[in-house]
Amino acid sequence: MKRICRITIALCLPLLLCGPAMAQHSGPYVGAYIGGNMLMTAEGKDDQGSFSLEFNPALQGSAVLGWDLEPGNPMGEGRIELEYTRRSNQVDQMKFAQGYFQGSGNLVVDSLLLNGFGVFRDNRPWSPYAGVGIGVARIEASDLKVSGNPMGSGSAIVFAYQLGAGVDLSLTDSISLDLGYRFFSSTNPSFTEADGRKFDIDYMNHSAMLGLRVGF
C-alpha cells in the first residue's frame, strides 16, 4: 500500500507543479464527494442546566449540481452549486454537572445548501478556491441515551451555513478532482427529552472531502 502511494505521488507531483493547463470548463456539472467529518463538542441546555455531548468522527457523502461560470463573467471566476450532504455522528460520551457518562445514539444531519465559490485560476492544472454556502438542514437526534437510559430524541429544521476552501485539479477539460475543507454550522436545534422537557444544542462540524466533478 505504501509503495502504491509513493508511485501515485511521484506520477502526480510533476503534473501538479508544472503540467500544462487544461481548457477551462464552463456550463453545468454534477459531482459526488466523500469525506470524513469531526463534530465538535455540542453544548446543550435545558431548564435544569447545561451539559455537553461528545461525538465520534464519521464518514459523510455529498452530491452537487452546479454551473461553472465563463471566463470574464461579471460575477467573477468560480462556480455556483446546489449541494446535498448527509452527516451522521455517534455519541461517545456526555458530560453533566455530576461528571462524564457513557453515551449512545446518533445525530444525523441532512443539509441542502446553495454554494458560491471563487476560483483563483492560473496557467496550471490546479486552482485554489474559497467560498460560502447557505441553506437549511434537518437535524435528527436518534435514540440518545445516557449510560443506557433514554435521554431524548426528535428532529428540527434549521438555518445552516458553511465556509469552504480547497484545490481543484483538472484531469480533462470537463473532469476535475476537488480536495476541500468545509466548516458547517447551523442555528441551535431543539429536541425533546424522555420526560417531555425541551433541550437545545449547538452544531459545528469540520470536514475534509474528496470529490469528482464532471461537466457537460
Residue 16 lies in a domain: no
Assess if residue 12 is contained within a domain: no
Residues 30-52 have a mean pLDDT of 95
pLDDT, residue 109, reads: 98
- What residues contact 16, with CB distance under 8 A and at least 6 apart? 124, 125, 126, 169
Helix residue spans in the chain (DSSP H):
2-18
Are the beta carbons of 29 and 68 closer than 8 angstroms?
yes
Residue 64 within a domain: yes
d(CA 77, CA 124) in angstroms, rounded, equals 15
The predicted-structure confidence for 104-139, as pLDDT tens digits, reads as follows 999 999 999 999 999 998 878 899 999 999 999 999
Give the distance from CA 149 to its chain's centroid: 31
Q: How many domains does the chain have?
A: 1
- Cα 32 to Cα 24: distance, rounded to the nearest angstrom: 20
- 20 is a domain residue: no
Does residue 8 form part of some domain? no
Strand partners, 119: 129
The boundaries of the domain holding residue 186 are 27-215
Residue 198 within a domain? yes
pLDDT band at 23 (very low <50, low <70, confident <90, very high): low
Determine the Cα–Cα distance for residues 185 and 39; give it in Å rounded to an integer.
10
Kindly tell me if the per-residue pLDDT of 168 is higher than 90.
yes
Q: How far is CA 165 from CA 1, 24, 173, in A?
A: 29, 19, 21
Beta carbons within 8 Å of 37's beta carbon, 6+ residues apart: 57, 58, 59, 60, 87, 89, 184, 205, 206, 207, 208
Residue 98 covered by a domain: yes
The answer to the question of residue 57 being in a domain is: yes
- CATH code of 31's domain: 2.40.160.20
Structural contact between residues 83 and 112, judged by C-beta atoms closer than 8 angstroms = yes
